[in-house]
Structure 1
Amino acid sequence: MDLHARRRDLRPNELFNQGFNSILNDCQKIVEDKAANEAKLFKGLKKHLGKKLVEIKEKNKALLDLQRKANEGEERLLELQQETSKVSNLKAKVKGLEEVVSSQDSTLTTYDEALMVYQRDLEHWKATAM
């Protein structure tokens, strides 16, 4: 028996129910296909998102490493600035000590000249006293 003959034998109510069931089955298949496609899409997006998350973590780690190196560089720069200020202070102290030494050299030169004059005068007095 072919399909058309079967449909002719059905009453209108049965024919309606069969058509409705056919439409319902078609809709259900469409919904199932759409759900399967959405599930595939979801899996693909989830995988892509996972890859992007790994990339972001790697970039974040690289940025944190760079930040750590920058902080270490800043700390080293502060240490060097402190050392530089110590050098400047030491230069100022050396200059002050050089001035003191120069002043003492000048004083010693004056004392030496006075001592030489005293010795010459002493020898002269000894020679005249004899």
Structure 2
Amino acid sequence: METEILKQDFIMLEGENVCKGDPGYIEPSNGTFNMQSDYPVERLIHLMDSLEEWKVWYNDEVKDLSDIRGEDYFEDMLKNPIREPVYVSEIDGKAYIWDGWHRVAASIKAGRLTLPAAVMKH
């Protein structure tokens, strides 16, 4: 049952942040799925050039989106454990974010080593 729910989640995310032809794209109907409560943040760092770039990007997002999302949205991610999983695909051992860039960046900024993730593999 969980597998089917995760598959539907990835289908709903398709085209939002990841499209066919993008690095990290897997056709959800061809994927295998699992939930990981302690997904290593280090597997996602390569998606930006450095840890510092992640932190700068997060700070820019806070400035740009606080009026829309509210300051509490961003503060909560820094102060409290991430509750909502990020959605990640893995291809040939390399991880890509389908949804959850802010959660990953907040985890990096807060110095967390893991976060919850829904993972799709080919």
TM-score band w.r.t. shorter chain: under 0.3
Alignment TM-score, normalising by the size of structure 1: 0.15
- Structure holding more helix per residue: 1
- Structure holding more strand per residue: 2
Structure with more relative contact order (C-alpha pairs < 8 Å, separation 6 or more): 2
Alignment TM-score, normalising by the size of structure 2: 0.16
